[in-house]
């Protein structure tokens, strides 16, 4: 069964600094990879996903993630964070097929003014 490891439970960062949230998954077989974001007191929303093709995927609000098959990683990056990026971020993986997503335990990003 798939598993997802988010190495950092909390990441504090100053506004306008770069950030990387790390995600590793357990299997090297073909997978679909996702990042979801949860703002305070809300449900999760899809941030970006990798299904196939280019290994670098981008979101509309400046985040990007790179699929690295050899390292089984899908780290999320942003070159300059804003206060509004403060949220919890979840990495998720699904085997190709109809299997449900497996979520990591989440990384709480706190942007400091």
Partner 1 sequence: IAGITQAPTSQILAAGRRMTLRCTQDMRHNAMYWYRQDLGLGLRLIHYSNTAGTTGKGEVPDGYSVSRANTDDFPLTLASAVPSQTSVYFCASSVGGGPDEQFFGPGTRLTVL
- Token pair recorded at residue 78: 């942003």
Task: For residue 69, state whether it binds partner 1 (rule: CB under 8 A).
Answer: no
Of 29, 60, 97, 113, which lies in the binding site for partner 1, with binding defined by CB under 8 A?
A: 97
Q: Would you call 57 exposed, middle or buried from its count of C-beta atoms within 10 A (0-12, 13-18, 19+)?
A: buried
Please identify, using beta-carbon distances, which residue of 63 and 90 lies nearer to partner 1: 90
Quick check: helix, strand or coil at residue 82?
A: coil
Residue 35's closest CA among 106, 91, 102?
91
Residue from 53, 60, 98, 113 touching partner 1 (CB under 8 A): that is 98
Binding-site string for partner 1 from residue 21 to residue 50, where x marks contact by CB under 8 A and - marks none: -----------x---x-----xxxxx--x-
Query: How far apart are CB 108 and partner 1 at their closest, in Å?
Result: 10
Closest approach of Cβ 78 to partner 1, in Å?
21
Q: Please, are residues 10 and 105 in contact by the beta-carbon 8 Å criterion?
A: no
The two three-digit tokens of residue 84, written as one number? 């509004």
Q: Does 104 bind partner 1 (CB under 8 A)?
A: yes
Q: Six-digit token pair at 2?
A: 């798939």
Tokens 């490891």 sit at which residue? Answer: 5
Task: Tell me if 11 contacts partner 1 by CB under 8 A.
Answer: no
Rounded to a whole number of angstroms, the minimum distance from the CB of residue 51 to partner 1 is 5
């Amino acid at each position: 069964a798939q598993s997802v490891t988010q190495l950092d439970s909390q990441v504090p960062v100053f506004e306008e600094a770069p950030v990387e949230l790390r995600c590793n998954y357990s299997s090297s077989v073909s997978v679909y990879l996702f990042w979801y974001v949860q703002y305070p007191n809300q449900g999760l929303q899809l941030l970006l996903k990798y299904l196939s093709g280019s290994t670098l995927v981008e979101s509309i609000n400046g985040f990007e993630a790179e699929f690295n098959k050899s390292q089984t990683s899908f780290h999320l990056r942003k070159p300059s964070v804003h206060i509004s990026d403060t949220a919890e971020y979840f990495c998720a993986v699904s085997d190709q097929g109809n299997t449900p997503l497996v979520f990591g335990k989440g990384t709480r990003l706190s942007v400091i003014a």
